[in-house]
Structure 1
Amino acid sequence: MKISEKYYPYLLIAACLLLFFPHLDVLYANIMEARNFNTAREMLEHNNWVLTTMNGEARYEKPPLPTWLAAISAGVFGITKLWALRLPSAIISTVLVLFSFSLSRKRLKLSAKQSLYASMILATSFYILFSGRNGTWDIFAHAFMLGGIYFLFQFFNTTVQKYRNAALAGLFIGLSFMSKGPVSHFALFLPFLIAYIWVFKLRTYKNRISPFTLLLLITLGLSSWWALVIYFGDADTAAVIADKETTAWANRNTRPFYYYWSFFTQSGIWTIPAFVSLLYPYLKTRVANLKAYRFSLIWTFAAVVLLSCIPEKKSRYLLPVLIPLALNTSFYIEYLVRRFSVLKDKRETFPVFFNFGIIATVAILVPVAGFFLLQDNLKGLWIWYVLLSLATLIIGFLMFRFLAKRKIERVFFLVIIFTCAVVTLGFPLVRASYTNEDYAKLAPKVATLLEEELPLYLFENSSPELIWDLGQRVPVLRDREGLKLPENDRFYLIVEQEREAEITELLNTYNLELMRCYDGNITTKADRNYKTRRIGCLYLVEAKN
């Protein structure tokens, strides 16, 4: 059954609804999300929309646009609902996927099918999927930037609607800066310019000076206004934070230049096709559009090289690389769909059988592996386990069947369906790992203590997750200016468990009585996501006579 091209965007939206939106509240907030969510909470509760804060302390490290969106969503649906805080990420990820489709189809003039392949690959790539389900800044910056690139591409190629394209390009590039500063400008936009100039060249610009000026003004206006407000409103704090961030980029998480050479593995389930798509000598005579293939290849490599020049390196920083990489991978998939049925050379067929054979095998083994790992903790989750098992078994057998018949397009879409099934039916099973018997919520206790006569303090704003678990703002003893002891002889103090020795030494003129430690980890200590900084210990502190 053939589906008309006009329905392809709806297929992408349907896939995104299954990939990014279900069960957004299953995973508890990680450290990056906690920073964003704390700031969003204080926007709603303390009206700190511009001079942003985290537990009363200035938080100017990142521009506020994603936090605004999280705060608005939480204001509508509830600040304690994680799915509401993550909802804007799911929406902007869908926008990213749709921009990817339009860029491939309308700007690069690829076939509708290949454009669909590229966008589906992007939506199911590991870090795109991860970021689209988390309330972090990165996905916003790169989604807005791809929108800017989409309109800039048209601005470069035609004089039709040049003011409209220039204004929209400036708008989206500016919104990208408002999401995470110049990160996407360096990691996605600059590599795009390198690839575009290399492959397509730049046409005469004489009749585009005015619209280009408009583009620059909009971009600069959106990119600079918040920084200017911070500079004139709280210059000293902004300078301290800027120095700290600059030092971190140069000295924290430093890795060698070649650290990102395995970047294609970040596409997850598409690792092998992504790697093959990078083999230019092999694919240059096989792709349907060589010029566009060169463009996506150079865009991908330029992004990796530029990111490799930055001393601080983390795997998640490769997120922007996955955008051109998905486009690049689609050239290989399009070739397989078109030619695999007649290929005889085992050097070409073996990687295909191996890649999709592994995925099919994993799909079939999901029920066995799931039961073996989770059998003791499936109470209340059996319906999800059964549904997931049935879905993956059917998908796995169908993949083997169509792979044997060399119907690669059907195998490709089964991979997409498999990924959607894992998210929609498998994510609830994550709750089977939430078995920490010591788990205790800190927020209700904080709310009670704040109503008592004795003041309550948090030692320091060092654990964003612990601050999020507090449920509301709590004053700190030590901030950027140093330790400030209260006038009261008796007070309550919350401190991370791992810093108890430090507190004992600093407050040696006080008696410290441990009331209770509240473990905010849902998982057990054996889980790699268990963080001691989520354990908040409550002390009654009293001055020695």
Structure 2
Amino acid sequence: MNFIHEKNYVWILVIVCFALFFVNLDVLYPNIMEARNFITAREMVSDGNWLLTTMNGEARYEKPPLPTWLAAISGMAFGFKSLAALRIPSAIITLILILCSYRFGSHFLKNKQHAFISSLILATSFYIIFAGRNGTWDIFAHGFMLVGIYYIFHFFASAENIWRNSLLAGIFIGLSFMSKGPVSHFALFLPFIIAYSIVYKYTNFKKKWLPLLGLIVVTAILSSWWALYIYEMDTETATAIAEKETTAWQDRNVRPFYYYWSFFVQSGIWTVVAFVGLLYPYLKSRVKNLKAYKFCLFWTLAAVILLSVIPEKKSRYLLPVLIPLAYTTSFYIEYMFRTFKTNRDKRETFPVYLNFGIVGLIGLVFPIVGYIFLKDSLSGFYFRFILTSLALVPIGFFILKYLFKKEIQRSFYLIIVFVMMIIVTGFPLANALLDNPNYNSLQDISRKAKEEKVPVYMFNIQSPELVWDYGGKIPLVHSHDLEIPKENTFKVLVMIGGKKSVEKAFPNYEITYQETFDLNPIDNTNRGYKDRLRTEMYLISKK
């Protein structure tokens, strides 16, 4: 029995995405990647650097500018002091990603309910939620790429609308490149091509060579024009940055080949059932559409293997894998929808009891466990804590109730509501854990500098979060290529422990400590405390 009519699937996905990606966007502080993007967006507007992009006045060509353009436009519309506004473009592209995943799934799964299940799994996967609520580049690259893949699938599989499908595929694949270079081409598109080549047959390809050439040309133009422009306008800097980025893939964050083998954990709340979805010998005789299952499984595994080949590895690089993994996981869930009520094999139903049961139990015990962990930090957050408890406890109870009544569909949909309520009611509780008594923002520095008529410089490049918090460009003084400020008296922001370098750089000046700025939301007793989020200010006066 299907509890939701298929005509409501799209609207439900929109509502789910609104709760997951658009609500409480201003809760968390900007991370280092967001800070880089937002600084560049701010300088696009303030300095007009829309093509020759900058970060604190220095060339910033490491990433193509499309996501930054969108952040800049949003900043122009709603103000650069609104974190929510700057993150809205990410939320919008994530909504597009989820809706496209549903439409794509409806086509090749040939079952709208199955496609709906897969899109809900994708929307509630951990790294999708993380990326969809952050103003960084990754979600744009993979969101545009999935739209491109949708059209290229139609281009391969159908003899109709060949030119439309090829050109639209080329446009969106090109937009993906304009978001983060070839990352999604390697991590999402190439695995798709591998999986499609193994599972499906190319039909009527003799008629498609010219449209395919058009696809390649459109993709090439969209992908290369900005890189060619910056190379032409700033050859030396563009070449140096390209070399640095190429080296980074080989030298930074090097991990062993098997580092990504626990990739299914990145689906978060679906970890257990995601693992089962990968067990081909078990599922091959239980799925309705074996060819589609093979396609999704090969797509997932090809993405993991290709990412494993790259020496540089980070958990967040697994984001594109979650797209085919959601489809793969949905085959097991769809099978349980059909058989759970009558299935007497405990080996088959145990993963569902375990996965869904853990979620239900978390909701049920949230007030007790939450209070134990947060009791010393709940001042000012009691209303939010009570509201979250009132939401999660009944949801957890009914997840468990329907699970043990074997009404698996109800339990599944309640898990979606559970995740929504965590974001809508519970996410602001994160601030209850953020208590740094030494927190000190840089936002008043520029105002004080104007009042005191003493300029402020940054001594060597420091963390982008500091520059973002400052609210504008901070003139740089480089120790390796020192140009001493012309003023007799000025202030410098210096990395923690960098005073000796300042003394060496300004031997004929009197150096006086002024203040320490600390942007860490947690105190220095916590593991996540970062020295790079601190800087010291010194007054430099000519003797």
For residues 223 and 357 of structure 1, the distance between their equivalents in structure 2, rounded to whole angstroms, comes to 46
Residue in structure 2 matched with residue 380 of structure 1 by the alignment: 380
Residue in structure 2 matched with residue 331 of structure 1 by the alignment: 331
For residues 427 and 413 of structure 2, the distance between their equivalents in structure 1, rounded to whole angstroms, comes to 21
Amino acid at match of 2:494: V
- Taking the TM superposition and a 5 Å limit, the aligned residue runs for 1:366-515 are 366-450=366-450, 452-478=452-478, 482-515=481-514
Deviations 1:381-413 (Å, cap 9, x if unpaired)?
222111110111101110111111111111111
Residue in structure 2 matched with residue 299 of structure 1 by the alignment: 299
For residues 226 and 66 of structure 2, the distance between their equivalents in structure 1, rounded to whole angstroms, comes to 10
Cα deviation, residue 139, structure 1: 0.4
Question: Structure 2 vs 1, CA of residues 110 and 530 (structure 1 numbering), >3 Å: closer, same or farther?
Answer: farther
Q: What SS does the aligned partner of 2:498 have?
A: helix
1:166 counterpart = 2:200: no
What CA RMSD, in Å, does the superposition of the two structures yield over aligned residues? 1.5
Amino acid at match of 1:449: A
For residues 158 and 225 of structure 2, the distance between their equivalents in structure 1, rounded to whole angstroms, comes to 31
Gaps of 5+ in 1: none
Residue in structure 1 matched with residue 193 of structure 2 by the alignment: 193
Question: Structure 2 vs 1, CA of residues 501 and 168 (structure 1 numbering), >3 Å: closer, same or farther?
Answer: same
Gaps of 5+ in 2: none
Q: Does the Cα contact within 8 Å between 2:158 and 2:203 map onto a contact in 1?
A: no
Q: What SS does the aligned partner of 2:485 have?
A: coil
For residues 422 and 34 of structure 1, the distance between their equivalents in structure 2, rounded to whole angstroms, comes to 25
Q: What SS does the aligned partner of 2:540 have?
A: strand
Question: Structure 2 vs 1, CA of residues 427 and 42 (structure 1 numbering), >3 Å: closer, same or farther?
Answer: same
For residues 401 and 365 of structure 1, the distance between their equivalents in structure 2, rounded to whole angstroms, comes to 15
Q: What SS does the aligned partner of 1:443 have?
A: coil
- TM-score with structure 2 length normalisation? 0.97
Deviations 1:148-206 (Å, cap 9, x if unpaired)?
00000001111211111111101100000000000000000000000001000222422
- Taking the TM superposition and a 5 Å limit, the aligned residue runs for 1:132-147 are 132-147=132-147
| Identical-residue share of aligned pairs (%) | 54
Cα deviation, residue 496, structure 1: 2.3
Q: Does the Cα contact within 8 Å between 2:90 and 2:134 map onto a contact in 1?
A: yes
For residues 451 and 159 of structure 1, the distance between their equivalents in structure 2, rounded to whole angstroms, comes to 70
For residues 199 and 355 of structure 2, the distance between their equivalents in structure 1, rounded to whole angstroms, comes to 31
Cα deviation, residue 99, structure 1: 0.7
Cα deviation, residue 428, structure 1: 1.1
Residue in structure 1 matched with residue 516 of structure 2 by the alignment: 517
For residues 67 and 379 of structure 2, the distance between their equivalents in structure 1, rounded to whole angstroms, comes to 37
Q: What SS does the aligned partner of 2:438 have?
A: coil
- Taking the TM superposition and a 5 Å limit, the aligned residue runs for 1:210-249 are 210-249=210-249
Cα deviation, residue 502, structure 1: 3.5
Q: What SS does the aligned partner of 2:491 have?
A: strand
Residue in structure 2 matched with residue 73 of structure 1 by the alignment: 74
Cα deviation, residue 235, structure 1: 0.6
Q: Does the Cα contact within 8 Å between 1:388 and 1:422 map onto a contact in 2?
A: yes
Amino acid at match of 1:236: E
Deviations 1:411-444 (Å, cap 9, x if unpaired)?
1111111100101010111111222122122121
Moved more, 357-366 or 313-322: 357-366
Moved more, 213-222 or 129-138: 213-222
Q: How many residues align?
A: 542
Amino acid at match of 2:183: V
1:48 counterpart = 2:49: yes
For residues 257 and 323 of structure 2, the distance between their equivalents in structure 1, rounded to whole angstroms, comes to 21
For residues 307 and 450 of structure 2, the distance between their equivalents in structure 1, rounded to whole angstroms, comes to 46
- TM-score with structure 1 length normalisation? 0.97
Deviations 1:476-502 (Å, cap 9, x if unpaired)?
0018x7332223333210122243344
Cα deviation, residue 19, structure 1: 0.5
For residues 169 and 284 of structure 1, the distance between their equivalents in structure 2, rounded to whole angstroms, comes to 31
Q: What SS does the aligned partner of 2:208 have?
A: helix
Q: Does the Cα contact within 8 Å between 2:159 and 2:204 map onto a contact in 1?
A: no
For residues 276 and 539 of structure 1, the distance between their equivalents in structure 2, rounded to whole angstroms, comes to 58
